[in-house]
Amino acid sequence: MPRRVDVLPPLSGPRAMPAGSNLPVLVERRRRADRVGWMALALALLIVVAGGLAARESIVSAWPAAARLYHALGFQMASNEAHGLRFRNVERRETVESGVAILVITGEIENISPELQAVPAIRVALLDADDRELHHWTFAAEHDALDAGGATAFTTRLTGPPQGAKNLSIRFAQNGQG
């Protein structure tokens, strides 16, 4: 036969602790303040993320390794196509003239937009095996504007390239960037 168990009725609310008690005090939670804090944190995080997305071209131009992060997040970095232009057939060749090493970079710039595009300066950077920039320079293309669908060739030379240059980064220079 089951045993009878007395159950106390629930308290209507917390009672004050008797003097001398060592039990923890029940503290009423500040739910509104907690919500405001979480919303402020979410808003700050949203502003940082939105700024990082809106300024991604500037961030990548200042820190080229960030392009990998944006690419991993699914953003196609079109820094080379930002002006309606793109590079094609870029080749790197190393020669020696009069005992001096010379790096020759050739390629073409193509206007992929449906309208006339100004051709900005071109920025070339030499990178080591860890993609750290060792040296960079800018130069002007042969033509300063291209018609829709047009293309122009470019060639640049660097005398005495730095040792350890394994990779090459080529893109259009931002305003005022050397």
Q: What is the pLDDT of residues 35-69, one digit of tens each?
A: 888 999 999 999 998 988 888 877 766 666 677 78
Quick check: 155 pLDDT over 60? Answer: yes
| CB-CB contact of 110 with 88 (8 Å) | yes
The string of pLDDT tens digits covering residues 13-32 is 667 767 777 766 666 667 77
Q: How buried is 141 (Cβ within 10 angstroms: 0-12 exposed, 13-18 middle, 19+ buried)? A: buried
Domain at 79-172, CATH from 3.40.50.300, 2.60.40.10, 3.40.50.2000, 3.20.20.70: 2.60.40.10
Can you give the pLDDT at residue 26? 62
The string of pLDDT tens digits covering residues 99-136 is 899 999 999 999 888 888 888 889 999 988 888 889 99
Across the range 2-15, mean pLDDT stands at: 73
- Report the C-alpha gap between 44 and 123 in whole angstroms: 35
